[in-house]
Amino acid sequence: MNSKNWERFTQRARRVLSLAQEEAEKLNHSYIGSEHVLIGLIREEGGVAGRVLRELGLEEHRVQAMVERLSGVGTRTPFTKIELSPSTKRILELAVDEARRMGQHYISTEHLLLGLVRQNEGVAMDVLRKFGISAEQVRRQTRRVLKESPVSTTESQSKGGKREKSKTPLVDQLATDLTALADEHKLDPVIGRNTEIERVIQILARRTKNNPALIGEPGVGKTAIVEGLAQRIVDGQVPEVLYNKRVLQLDVGSLVAGTMYRGQFEERLKRVIEELKSSDAILFIDEVHMLVGAGSAGSAVDAANILKPALSRGELQCIGATTLDEYRKHIESDAALERRFQPVRVEEPTPDESVHILMGIKSAYEKHHNLTITDEAINAAVNLSTRYVTDRFLPDKAIDLIDEGSSRVRMYRASQPPDVREAYETLRQLREERNELVEAGSYDQAAQIRKEEEEVQRQLDELRVGDVDVKESLLVTAEDIAEVLSMWTGIPVIQLSEEESARLLDMEDEIHKYIVGQDEAIEAISKAVRRARAGMKDPRRPIGSFIFLGPTGVGKTELTKALARFLFGSEDALIQLDMSEFMERHNVARLIGSPPGYVGYEDAGQLTEAVRRRPYSIVVFDEIEKAHPEAFNILLQIMEEGHLSDAKGLKVDFRNAIIIMTSNVGAETIKKGPNLGFSFQRDMSVEEEEAYGDMHKVLIDQLKRTFRPEFINRVDSIIVFRQLNQQDIRQIVDIIIEEVNERLVEHELSLAASDAAKDWLMENGYDREFGARPLRRLIQSSVEDKLSDAVLAGKFGPGDHILIDAEEDEIILKLQDKLPSTDNGSGEQVEEEVLPAAS
């Protein structure tokens, strides 16, 4: 304990420690333990603690006898120096904290007693428990005694025995003393920010208008700067004018709380100002903009106007902290209030500075979580949060990553070792046994049990020291930080596992299960995804931006759905916008939100809000050519810069999104041109390639005439989808039949199709103009409708195997004993016993 705190001890508190030393000497103990302090508290009859303990039924001679039986008589030599035990030192520290909590500058017997029971361990607490007294009983009785006679019995005397009354009793209730916390080493260290702290000190040392206003984004460290100032005041590293100043953090909510009637708030604030005028205190108001309008009701004066006179005359020193937006909105709009504050801009630290800050405070988090945080984890927290968490600021977001990553490691990897659990259980049993012996009056046996208890406690302490090994084995790594970030954002930034790497390498094959043909499109998108997951993509741009061209019904929309299923397991991550809804200029504003003054300003933008909620997603702009040209300006920024600001100025990150734009540009030309695309009559591969080349050239030329060059130039890849051929349509039949089969699983039915049925569906379901879409409608009408009617009529039931067949130019459904040996409905049919048709 430092000398400043020792000076705050009253005469009675010092006498308690003197009496405790006498008791230790009497028992030949070489230390002053909690049991000696307890006897000293009882013996000091004039103190609050003595009265509390006596009213609880404790008598000095009985407590002395109990202590002697539990602790025994020592073997101290006359020349051995008596020192405070660690337990007693902790009691003194807790007593200082209790005094601070009660808003009292002095430390007396009631604070020592509260500190003793707050520690909740040691011989003194064992003695109290033997007499049936709990820590909560002591606290409750202390509060009652203090309430009954606050003047006569409280140790309100300072060193000289005179009552020392706080100069700021109301402020002590409404504010937190940061200098007291700094003095007790309860504030996290402030790393860097020397320029800002010195600027604040410079303003505070002025004669007038000495009120700094810290202005910066949330989480950049405004409050930490004030804590750094408090630490400098405690350390004496400030000009003489700031010596012995107290930095008090005001809680505006507590200031307003309970002021129901007019005049109550004004009266309370006036009292606060008067108290601060007569004390060496600096008022710190976090979120200072809350003062504007605070407490005003009807024509009442708000807090800011009450503070103005005291601020301008220099009678009250105040440090404010707020964000740029709130400062502009509330402070700058009031010129009279603004001129009383001197703005201090607090910029977001650079990544290197943030790493330095985290290195400085990581020991506090290591101590709290009892583990080791690696330097790689610190660097990962800063780099990953900078890249992926764009709506928050350093160092706050990086600190949160470290904190939650440490919590996650501790939760999943640490558990209490069996030997520690066993020691705790043994200790509990011994204490119960000792309590029973004391109640029965068997003090000698209780003393023996006490020795066994001390031995178990010693073993437990050794195991706790061994917990350092646990700390060494628990490491927070960069991988742990990446896992937490993935939980925050949904973005897969964790290191690729072998299983995922293999899956990404086989991405084309996986997507081909759902998409037929279109090799160029699947390959281009797969490469973009692999680049992103391998960390090779441009960090300033989206994962990929593509324009899909080609005839209708060839798989453009289906490919985006298949990609969503591959990456996210479902189609929920697909953000789809029909650009025909944005044909008018005023509708384009809906993408980012309406401008101020327009109806719907409070509503979020359709595009920006969807991506903010799910930054790792696929954004599909359907029929892009139908949008108003103003919409292309928005897309330009997304594709080039990787971000977009909404109507409220909030930046939305598109760097982890895949941008896909579909267009029907040139669709009419394809329908009219007999040599474009591909038809069933032209089944030669050479002719197919020539037809695709002709279509590709026409569509690209049409695209260049429709869109501006700067727009086309920013797209990663323009993909022209091929016209489907006969083989493609046959595969699509298999895929759709398999989809129907999957839906039948919950009904315990299975489905297969014969070659004849597949040929019939292929010939009747494909239309050159509309692609494969008519095929899906045909299967719905000829297969699904008949199947549902048959199930409802009871012709098919659970466990049945159904065969789709074609007879006399129509589809029929047959019941068979077992499934034909087909590969997911796509192989050759095996001869089966066929039952009567179900159709």
Mean per-residue pLDDT for 805-818?
74
Mean per-residue pLDDT for 351-375?
87
Mean per-residue pLDDT for 347-366?
88
Residue 211: band (very low, low, confident or very high) from pLDDT cuts 50, 70, 90? confident
Give 172-209 pLDDT, tens digit per residue. 777 888 888 887 778 888 888 888 999 999 988 888 78
Residue 280 clears pLDDT 50, i.e. is over it: yes
Ordered domains of the chain (ranges, CATH): 3-148 (1.10.1780.10), 171-347 (3.40.50.300), 352-488 (1.10.8.60), 498-671+687-720 (3.40.50.300), 726-815 (1.10.8.60)
Beta strands 651-653; 643-645: pairing state: antiparallel
DSSP 546-609: EEEES-TTSSHHHHHHHHHHHHHSSSTTEEEEEGGGG-SHHHHGGGT-PPTTSTTTTSPPHHHH
Mean per-residue pLDDT for 406-430?
74
pLDDT value at residue 679: 45
Give 517-565 pLDDT, tens digit per residue. 788 888 888 888 888 777 777 778 888 888 888 777 777 888 888 888 8
Mean per-residue pLDDT for 574-579?
86
User: For 806-812, which contacts have Cβ atoms below 8 Å and span 24 or more sequence positions?
Assistant: 806/754, 806/756, 806/757, 806/759, 806/760, 807/756, 809/760, 810/782, 810/839, 811/757, 811/760, 811/761, 811/782, 811/783, 811/786, 811/839, 812/837, 812/838, 812/839
pLDDT value at residue 830: 41
Distances (CA, A) of 239 to 4, 207, 245, 451: 20, 13, 11, 56
Give 424-440 pLDDT, tens digit per residue. 778 778 878 877 877 77
Residue pointed to by tokens 């009559």: 681
340 φ/ψ sector (left φ>0, alpha ψ -120 to 50, else beta): alpha
Mean per-residue pLDDT for 809-826?
60
Peptide bond into 395 cis (omega under 30): yes
Residue 777 CB: number of other CB atoms within 10 A? 11
What percentage of the chain carries pLDDT values higher than 70? 83
Contact (CB, 8 A) for 42 and 60: yes
Distances (CA, A) of 832 to 18, 815, 829: 103, 10, 8
pLDDT value at residue 417: 65
Residue 594 CB: number of other CB atoms within 10 A? 16
Better pLDDT: 164 or 530: 530
Residue 406 clears pLDDT 70, i.e. is over it: yes
pLDDT value at residue 402: 92
Which residues contact residue 476 at a Cβ distance below 8 angstroms, ignoring those fewer than 6 apart? 371, 372, 373, 374, 377, 402, 405, 406, 409
CA 615 remoteness from chain centre: 16
* Cα 404 from Cα 471, distance rounded (Å): 17
Residue 627 clears pLDDT 60, i.e. is over it: yes
Residue 159 clears pLDDT 50, i.e. is over it: no
Better pLDDT: 298 or 612: 612
pLDDT value at residue 355: 92
Q: Which of 231-240, 288-297, 448-457, 631-640 is predicted with the least confidence, judged by mean pLDDT?
A: 288-297
Give the SS3 label for residue 479.
helix
In DSSP terms, 657 is beta-bridged to: 617
* Cα 136 from Cα 427, distance rounded (Å): 22
Which residues contact residue 130 at a Cβ distance below 8 angstroms, ignoring those fewer than 6 apart? 66, 435, 438, 439
Which residues contact residue 350 at a Cβ distance below 8 angstroms, ignoring those fewer than 6 apart? 394
pLDDT value at residue 80: 66
pLDDT value at residue 680: 40
Which residues contact residue 778 at a Cβ distance below 8 angstroms, ignoring those fewer than 6 apart? 761, 764, 765
Residue 399: band (very low, low, confident or very high) from pLDDT cuts 50, 70, 90? very high
What percentage of the chain carries pLDDT values higher than 90? 2
Residue 813 clears pLDDT 50, i.e. is over it: yes
Give the SS3 label for residue 625.
helix
Residue 490: band (very low, low, confident or very high) from pLDDT cuts 50, 70, 90? confident
Beta strands 657-662; 717-720: pairing state: unpaired
Instruction: State the average pLDDT for the chain.
Output: 78
pLDDT value at residue 686: 60
* Cα 245 from Cα 64, distance rounded (Å): 45
Which residues contact residue 457 at a Cβ distance below 8 angstroms, ignoring those fewer than 6 apart? 427
Residue 240 DSSP symbol: G
Mean per-residue pLDDT for 304-327?
81
AA identity, residue 658: I
pLDDT value at residue 299: 42
Residue 108 clears pLDDT 60, i.e. is over it: yes
Give the SS3 label for residue 389.
coil
Of the candidates 789, 797, 801, the residue with the CA atom closest to the CA atom of residue 839:
789
Give the SS3 label for residue 782.
helix
Give 755-775 pLDDT, tens digit per residue. 888 888 887 877 766 777 778
Residue 166: band (very low, low, confident or very high) from pLDDT cuts 50, 70, 90? low
Which residues contact residue 715 at a Cβ distance below 8 angstroms, ignoring those fewer than 6 apart? 545, 546, 547, 639, 661
Beta strands 717-720; 801-807: pairing state: unpaired
Orientation angle between helical segments 498-505 and 519-533, nearest 10 degrees: 150
Residue 818 clears pLDDT 50, i.e. is over it: no
Give 661-687 pLDDT, tens digit per residue. 888 777 666 666 554 444 444 444 566
Q: In the numeric block, which tokens belong to residue 637?
A: 């920024």
Rounded to two decimals, what is the model's pTM?
Answer: 0.59
State whether the Cα torsion 683-684-685-688 is positive or negative.
negative
Q: How far is the first Cα of the chain from the last one, in angstroms, to the nearest whole number?
A: 94
pLDDT value at residue 649: 75
Q: In the numeric block, which tokens belong to residue 159?
A: 């060193």
